[in-house]
Amino acid sequence: MTDNVYPLLMVPQDVMRTCAARVRELRIRQNITQKELAERVGVAVGTIKRFEHTGEVQFRTLLGIALVLGRLDDFAGVFKISDVPKSLYHPEPEPKRPRQRARKK
């Protein structure tokens, strides 16, 4: 697989399928069968087959797959909150105190 960057206009289904294809490629490169991956993650073989075909899987299972394939660190920055302001010319005002929960609508 040669795609290194997600295109700008991807929907969740596209991301799921791309992720599944990358997992399949990594698994094959590491000479791991679907059955062996399933055993090491602790799920049924059908779960791995379905994931590689559709991209659908529970998040806990995805993290287990990443761990087995040596890619768990890839998730470290998924929802990272940046300390860098969006603009050096118009810095964001400092919040008075960190929010504890979302506002009611």
In this prediction the pTM is 0.72
pLDDT digits (tens, 9 = 90+) for 50-97: 999 999 999 999 999 999 999 999 998 888 887 766 666 766 666 677
Tokens standing for residue 94: 């400092």
Residue 40, C-beta contacts closer than 8 angstroms, at least 6 positions apart: 32, 68
Looking at domain 12-75, which of 1.10.260.40, 1.20.1050.10, 1.10.10.10, 3.40.640.10 is its CATH number? Answer: 1.10.260.40
For the ranges 1-5, 7-11, 70-74, 96-100, the lowest mean pLDDT is seen at 1-5
Say which residue, 4 or 55, is predicted with more confidence: 55
> Average pLDDT for residues 29-46, to the nearest whole number?
97
Domain parsing of the chain, residue ranges: 12-75
Residue linked to tokens 């990358």:
22
